Amino acid sequence: MHKRILGKNSLEVSAVGLGCMGMSFSYGPPKDKQEMIALMRTAVERGVTFFDTAEVYGPFTNEELVGEALAPLRDQVVIATKFGFDTSVDPRAMKGVGPVLNSRPEHIKQVVDASLKRLKTDVIDLLYQHRVDPDVPIEEVAGAVKELIRDGKVKHFGLSEAGVQTIRRAHAVQAVTTVQNEYSLWFRRPEEELLPTLEELGIGLVAYSPLGKGFLTGKMDAGTTFDSTDFRSSLPRFTAEALQTNQAMVDLLASIAAQKQATPAQVALAWLLAQKPWIVPIPGTTRLERLDENIGAVAIELTTDDLQQIDKAAAQITVQGARYPEKLEQMTGR
Q: For the CA atoms of 18, 301, 266, 182, what is the dihedral angle to 10 degrees?
A: 60
Rounded to an integer, what is the distance from CA 208 to the centroid of its chain? 3
Neighbours of 110 (CB within 10 A): 13
| DSSP reduced 3-state for 2 | coil
Residues assigned a catalytic role = 57
Instruction: Report, in this order, helix, strand and coil percent for the chain, each rounded to 5.
Output: 45, 15, 40
Answer left, alpha or beta for residue 236, where phi above 0 means left and psi between -120 and 50 means alpha. Answer: alpha
The residue among 7, 18, 13 whose CA lies nearest residue 211 is 18
- Alpha carbons 199 and 172: distance in angstroms, whole number: 16
